[in-house]
């Protein structure tokens, strides 16, 4: 099969088609894998992520927008202004499938526009439009306005950036369908630097399998498998935030910028409470049967929040427990505003939690914050700073640069709980030991979606392993999932398939869709190839090559709860074992590893 | 001090409550399965079937005693004592 990309030169306002041949698709798949390969080849070493030589790849994959379950996603890749290495992020909603229906499997944004523009692709025809009237506007207005201009009340999809992306905040998120985010690594700032406000896609060209009958049969079987799996019911009923109480219960919920691991108000901001008080109905991405999204509305004494898609597990954690905020309506308000301003809810929670810690320590004062008391749990300050961060106003400019830059500026770099410059997610690796490997070895930094130790620590997939146990089996499982998840991000479907399906299921579907005589082993070797190739971007860049965890997690024990006294001192040993098993030295693939994986062209960069 | 039993996710809907307390006599030795049997008597067969399969805890049902999963303690024979907190979760997942 072939993938057709649209190359948009924003400097010249011109378009060019780029067809990725079958042989290349089989080697790099699509989405994250293909994007990383193209980024490596086309983005020169050492360039400014916010300069004209950076590119943004918005890609689907072979099975996006098909009958395969949970295939309504897309992936974004580019050099990250937050980390300075390869950045990427994935989003659901409707954009991925509609991009394919528009006649293209992906878009490459190149150069820099002189004025704000938005791109439309309708039935295979691309067009750039003036977007001066949308610059400075939030995502809700932008989506509504573009739909009106494109006469698209129904169908089609809008991807866009908000004021945070326009003002090139490192914490900015690419949004689509108003509430869905390719949030991590700050690639919205790159679109902002290119003055590309939005993309509208619509069309009727549905991707077709080589063997339609066989693919349809396989897709239906996999649907049943996902539908009947135990975790699906809980995700449908309570959304991703169903995990809040469980992770908190085992004492692994990072609290107040990782100074504790049990949050006393967890149940008040849990998926159960959200469903009980504010849920209108579950909503899903295109073609989704799980429907983990939540349509909510909240009207309380303090807040009146319109109907919108509610915060996910990670958002509730980052802005809740991580900042000491236990007020669910306040978190709904925070989520609504962050989405509308186009900001990554995790990165905002990361940087706010760090700022609150520094304020409590007296390293940041009200003189710095413009009078705001950044004490733990101050929801009003969290809400106020959203606008200031998106517009880089006063102290908001410090927050816009991200956790690491903030902690360094105020003289306490160890308060930045990051890997590769990216703030960590909602699991404490001192209490869930497998996350030490997951966070330290993730190519883009952070990494709760690069491998997912929750599956074996809490779900028994593929088997149950004590979260407090330190052993090599967790290294093996991290490697397996890193290879599997990059395949999922590259054929481009949802990782929630990963609870009920594995690489054999994806192979079953990929073979009839593409016509390839592919085996599960080849697919997993492809995953390994992609993971190694992705790492080579950092190797060539000479930045963030070595895998390591933040000092606080290695040295400071958890003060209370079921994991009291535990640290992540085990990380060093497990990381060394990881390198050995991957065929790497100090975070760098060996020459023979690259050659074994048909990556010989990359050995010159070692 | 009684044992505190907490229910989560779909179990809250099924049972219509978030938590309850079970008194334990001062000399009484109790295992998790004894506590579960008391709960099954109170809440009926549907709850039993959601928790047990062939006499064991169903895969992906998680029961924690003071935050430690019974899979890594002594399974259904894990001992209980005064003031313990037992948390019972149906299959959940997130991200």
Q: Is the peptide bond before A462 cis (omega within 30 degrees of 0)?
A: yes
Query: What CATH number does the domain containing B66 carry?
Result: 3.10.20.30
Mark yes or no for CB contact B89/A245 under 8 Å.
yes
Is residue B95 in a domain? no
In whole angstroms, what is the distance from residue A313 CA to residue B29 CA?
39
Residue-wise pLDDT for B9-31, tens only, equals 999 999 999 999 998 887 788 99
Residue-wise pLDDT for A137-171, tens only, equals 999 999 999 999 999 989 999 999 999 999 999 99
Q: What is the pLDDT of residue A343?
A: 98
Grouping H, G, I as helix, E, B as strand and the rest as coil, residue A128 is strand
Residue corresponding to tokens 């290294």: A475
Determine whether domain A236-422 maps to CATH 3.40.50.1370: no
A499 contact B CB<8A: yes
Q: Where are the beta strands (DSSP E) in B1-95?
A: 3-7, 19-22, 30-31, 52-53, 56-57, 62-65, 68-69, 79-80, 85-89
Is residue B94 in a domain? no
Residue-wise pLDDT for A195-213, tens only, equals 999 999 999 999 999 999 9
- Residue A247 burial by CB count (10 A; 0-12/13-18/19+): exposed, middle or buried? buried
Average of pLDDT values for B33-62?
Answer: 93
Mark yes or no for CB contact B62/A234 under 8 Å.
no
Is residue B13 in a domain? yes
Is residue B67 in a domain? yes
Q: What is the total residue count of chain B?
A: 95
Four-way CATH pick for A3-202: 3.30.465.10, 3.60.9.10, 1.10.4160.10, 3.30.990.10: 3.60.9.10
Q: Which residues of B touch A235 (CB under 8 A)?
A: 92-94
Q: What is the ipTM of this complex?
A: 0.96
Q: What percent of chain A has pLDDT over 70?
A: 100
pLDDT exceeds cutoff 80 at A81: yes
DSSP-H helix ranges across A69-201: 95-101, 139-149, 163-166, 187-193
Average of pLDDT values for A594-599?
Answer: 98
* CATH class of the A429-499+519-605 domain in this structure: mainly alpha
pLDDT band at A426 (very low <50, low <70, confident <90, very high): very high
pLDDT band at B47 (very low <50, low <70, confident <90, very high): very high
Residue-wise pLDDT for A211-241, tens only, equals 999 999 999 999 999 998 877 877 888 899 9
Q: What is the pLDDT of residue A337?
A: 98
**If you average pLDDT over every residue of chain B, what do you get?**
92
- Phi, psi of A428, deg, nearest 5: -90, 120
- Parse chain A into domains and list their residue ranges: 3-202, 236-422, 429-499+519-605
Q: Å from A323 to nearest chain B CA?
A: 19
Residue-wise DSSP of A352-406: HHHHHHHHHTTSS-HHHHTS----TT-HHHHHHHHHHHHTT-THHHHHHT-HHHH
Q: What is the pLDDT of residue A498?
A: 81
Q: Å from A462 to nearest chain B CA?
A: 11
Q: Which residues of A touch B13 (CB under 8 A)?
A: 237
pLDDT exceeds cutoff 80 at A242: yes
Is residue B76 in a domain? yes
pLDDT band at B95 (very low <50, low <70, confident <90, very high): low
Average of pLDDT values for A353-375?
Answer: 98
B65 forms beta bridges with B68, B86
Grouping H, G, I as helix, E, B as strand and the rest as coil, residue A244 is helix
Q: Å from B54 to nearest chain A CA?
A: 17
How crowded is the C-beta side of A262, counted as CA atoms within 13 Å? 13
3-state secondary structure A473-522: HHHHHHHHHHHHHHHHHHHCCCHHHHHCCCHHHHHHHHHHHHCCCCCHHH
* Structural domain boundaries, residue B9: 3-89
In whole angstroms, what is the distance from residue A509 CA to residue A519 CA?
11
Q: What is the pLDDT of residue B94?
A: 63
Average of pLDDT values for A17-43?
Answer: 98
Mark yes or no for CB contact A238/B89 under 8 Å.
no
pLDDT band at A459 (very low <50, low <70, confident <90, very high): confident
CA nearest B12 in A: which residue?
Answer: A272
């Amino acid at each position: 099969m072939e993938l057709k990309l649209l190359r948009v030169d924003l400097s010249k306002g011109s378009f060019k088609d780029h067809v990725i041949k079958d042989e290349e698709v089989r080697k790099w798949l699509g989405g994250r894998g293909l994007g990383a390969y193209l980024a490596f080849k086309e983005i020169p070493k050492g360039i400014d992520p916010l300069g004209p030589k950076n590119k943004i790849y918005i890609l689907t994959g072979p099975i996006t927008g098909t009958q395969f379950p949970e295939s309504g996603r897309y992936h974004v890749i580019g050099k990250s202004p937050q980390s300075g290495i390869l950045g990427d992020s994935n989003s659901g909603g409707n954009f991925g499938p509609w991009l394919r229906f528009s006649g293209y499997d992906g878009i490459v944004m190149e150069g820099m526009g002189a004025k704000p523009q938005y791109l439309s692709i309708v039935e295979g025809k691309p067009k750039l439009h003036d977007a001066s009237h949308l610059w400075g506007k939030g995502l809700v207005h932008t989506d509504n306005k573009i739909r009106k201009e494109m006469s698209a009340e129904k169908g089609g999809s809008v991807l866009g950036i908000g004021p945070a992306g326009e003002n090139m905040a490192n914490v900015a998120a690419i949004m689509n369908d108003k509430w869905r985010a390719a949030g991590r690594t700050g690639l919205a700032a790159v679109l902002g630097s290119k003055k590309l406000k939005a993309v509208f896609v619509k069309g009727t060209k549905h991707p077709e399998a080589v063997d339609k009958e066989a693919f349809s049969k396989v897709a239906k079987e996999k649907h049943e498998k996902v539908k009947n799996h135990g975790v699906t019911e809980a995700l449908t009923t309570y959304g991703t935030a169903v995990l809040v109480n469980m992770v908190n219960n085992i004492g692994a919920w990072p609290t107040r910028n990782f100074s504790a691991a049990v949050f006393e108000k967890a149940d008040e901001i849990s998926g159960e409470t959200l469903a009980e008080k504010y849920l209108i109905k579950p909503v899903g991405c295109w073609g989704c049967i799980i429907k983990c999204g939540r349509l909510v509305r909240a009207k309380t004494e303090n807040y009146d929040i319109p109907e919108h898609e509610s915060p996910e597990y990670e958002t509730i954690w980052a802005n809740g427990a991580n900042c000491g905020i236990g007020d669910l309506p306040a978190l709904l308000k925070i989520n609504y505003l962050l989405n509308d301003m186009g900001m990554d809810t995790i990165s905002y929670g990361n940087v706010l939690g760090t700022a609150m810690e520094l304020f409590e320590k007296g390293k940041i004062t009200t003189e710095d914050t413009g009078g705001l008391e950044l004490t733990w749990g101050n929801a009003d300050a969290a809400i106020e700073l959203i606008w200031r961060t998106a517009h880089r106003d006063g102290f908001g400019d410090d927050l816009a640069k991200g956790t690491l830059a903030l902690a360094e500026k105020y003289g306490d770099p160890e308060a930045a709980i990051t890997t590769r410059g990216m703030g960590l997610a909602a699991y404490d690796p001192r209490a869930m030991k497998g996350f030490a490997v997951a966070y330290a070895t993730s190519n883009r930094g952070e990494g709760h979606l690069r491998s997912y130790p929750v599956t074996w620590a809490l779900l028994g997939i593929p088997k149950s392993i004590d979260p407090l146990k330190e052993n090599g089996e967790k290294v093996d499982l991290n490697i397996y999932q890193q290879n599997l998840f990059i395949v999922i991000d590259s054929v481009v479907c949802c990782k929630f398939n990963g609870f009920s399906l594995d690489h054999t299921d994806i192979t079953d579907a990929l073979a009839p869709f593409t016509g390839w005589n592919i085996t599960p082993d080849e697919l997993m070797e492809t995953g390994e190839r992609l993971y190694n190739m992705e790492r080579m971007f950092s190797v060539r860049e000479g930045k963030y090559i070595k895998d390591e965890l933040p000092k606080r997690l290695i040295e400071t024990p958890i003060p209370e709860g079921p994991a009291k006294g535990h640290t992540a001192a085990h990380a060093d040993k497990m990381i060394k074992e990881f390198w050995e098993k991957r065929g790497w030295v100090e975070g760098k693939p060996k020459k023979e590893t690259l050659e074994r994986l048909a990556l010989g062209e990359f050995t010159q960069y070692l | 001090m009684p044992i505190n039993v907490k229910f989560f996710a779909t179990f809250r809907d099924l049972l219509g409550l978030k938590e309850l307390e079970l008194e334990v006599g001062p000399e009484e030795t109790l295992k998790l399965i004894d506590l579960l049997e008391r709960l099954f008597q109170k809440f009926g067969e549907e709850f039993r079937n959601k928790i047990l399969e062939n006499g064991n805890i169903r895969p992906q049902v998680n029961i924690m005693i003071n935050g430690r999963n019974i899979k890594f303690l002594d399974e259904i024979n894990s001992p209980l004592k005064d003031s313990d907190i037992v948390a019972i979760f149906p299959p959940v997942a997130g991200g």
